[in-house]
Every structure is written in structure tokens, then in C-alpha cells.
Chains A and B, each alone.
Chain A
Amino acid sequence: DTEVTQTPKHLVMGMTNKKSLKCEQHMGHRAMYWYKQKAKKPPELMFVYSYEKLSINESVPSRFSPECPNSSLLNLHLHALQPEDSALYLCASSQDPVGAGAKNIQYFGAGTRLSVL
């Protein structure tokens, strides 16, 4: 089972709203990731959690706030977003953040398609 589950699938929010994206995996993976993907572009890394600790923040604006409550869950809290933040937000997980070969294959969830009005 290589399933990463993301909720909600779609989200429409105003610029003053607060919302959260959720991601869950039960593969025992120790690394989890948030990516942002705009149309016709590759995914862009936002955050990496390694063993439940934030290890990489790719200079993401503070209106995006990640949280890792436990090894299976990853949240992305959204506040005061801008219309240009509209995108597909992808969560991924891998067995090991730095291992070689199969251990760092990343498995993606289906994503949350976010529209900011």
C-alpha cells in the first residue's frame, strides 16, 4: 500500500479565511513533504518534515504554516492567502529523507486544489 491521503480535494477560500489542508500516510514513512504546483509547471518543494521535525522550509511566506502532529499526519495551515497562492498542493512521503534508492522514493497524494478569491 503506497497511499497518501489528502483532504479536502478542493478548497475555495477568501483572502481573510483560515483553513487547513490535511495529509495522512500509514506506511511508516519518516519523511513528509508539502509541494505547490501551478499549471504546466513541475511541483515546487515548500516544506520537509524529517522524523516529525521541520528540516526544510524553502523560504515559504509565513501565511503558510506547516504542522506535523505525529508521524502519520501532516497539516498545512493557511491564513491571509493571496489569489496567486491558488494552485494544487501536494503532500508526499518517503521511507527515509536521505537514504538512497528505494528509500527516498516519494509517494504523492492526490492533492488539494486551492482557489483563493
Chain B
Amino acid sequence: RKEVEQDPGPFNVPEGATVAFNCTYSNSASQSFFWYRQDCRKEPKLLMSVYSSGNEDGRFTAQLNRASQYISLLIRDSKLSDSATYLCVVNSRGSQGNLIFGKGTKLSVKP
């Protein structure tokens, strides 16, 4: 089983749609979880950290289910500018900062 797995997509959605991405991780000792966004030919940028209690930032909601070892990202009211690749990222305590990246899920929001 891959360490971090994501559906590569692409997800093609119309503006205003709600879209959800899921990610699973294999290491039960993982401690920190993030969603990064990467635009074409740009660097990854932190979208949000993911906490056990779930967290929301505007149109974005992240959830963590430790028992099932999955992380989700929900985007409401999609904008054209949300088009990007979304990377699920996991870090294990004591791993010397070794982030484990999923392969990314590509989102394309159409007018």
C-alpha cells in the first residue's frame, strides 16, 4: 500500500459546484496532515493544516479520520481560480521533517 494515496482525477466541475477530495495514509503513527495547492509550474503552497477536530477556512473544509486513516478536503462554491493540483501531505513525528506527498488530485473548474 502506498504511503499516501489520492485519486489523481482530473475532477472537472462547473463554477459554483461543491467538490470533495479524499486521501488515505498508511502510517498510523502520522502526526501532522496538510493540504497543499500547486498551480502549474509553480511551487506547492500550504492551503490548510488538518486537525482532528476538523477545520474550516472560508470555502474550504478539511477533515481527519484517524481511525480510518483518511483526510478529506471539501471546496464549496468553486471558483475558476481554484483550478490547481491539490496535494495531500502527511508528516510523522520524529521523521526529521520528511513530508510524504500524495501524487495530487487535479481540479479543473470550468465557467
**A residues at B contact (CB < 8 Å):** 31, 33, 41-43, 45, 48, 50, 55-56, 88, 90, 94, 97-98, 100-102, 104-111, 113
- Which of B15-23, B68-76, B90-98 contacts the other chain? B90-98
Q: Is A107 within 8 A of B46, CB to CB?
A: yes
Q: Is A104 within 8 A of B94, CB to CB?
A: no
Q: Quick one: given A101-B32, A102-B49, A105-B34, are A42 and B103 in contact (CB under 8 Å)?
A: yes
Which residues from chain B contact A41 at a C-beta distance below 8 Å?
A: 103
Which residues from chain B contact A107 at a C-beta distance below 8 Å?
A: 46
Q: Which of A33, A50, A108: most chain B Cβ within 10 A?
A: A108
Q: Is A48 within 8 A of B98, CB to CB?
A: yes
Which residues from chain A contact B99 at a C-beta distance below 8 Å?
A: 45, 106
Q: Is A109 within 8 A of B43, CB to CB?
A: yes
* Cα-based distance from A4 to B90 in the complex (angstroms): 21
Contacting A at CB under 8 A, from B21-71, are 31-32, 34, 41-46, 49
Interface residues on B, range: 20 to 34
Q: Quick one: given A42-B104, A104-B32, A110-B42, are A31 and B49 in contact (CB under 8 Å)?
A: no
* Cα-based distance from A115 to B70 in the complex (angstroms): 37
The list of the 9 closest CB pairs from A to B, nearest first, reads A42-B101, A97-B97, A108-B43, A100-B31, A31-B97, A110-B43, A111-B43, A55-B96, A108-B44
- Interface residue B87 (Cβ < 8 Å from any Cβ of A): yes
Which residues from chain A contact B31 at a C-beta distance below 8 Å?
A: 100-101
* Cα-based distance from A31 to B103 in the complex (angstroms): 24
Known contacts A50-B96, A104-B91; 10 additional CB pairs below 8 A are: A42-B87, A42-B101, A45-B98, A90-B43, A98-B95, A98-B96, A100-B93, A101-B31, A106-B99, A108-B44
Q: Quick one: given A108-B44, A109-B43, are A48 and B97 in contact (CB under 8 Å)?
A: yes
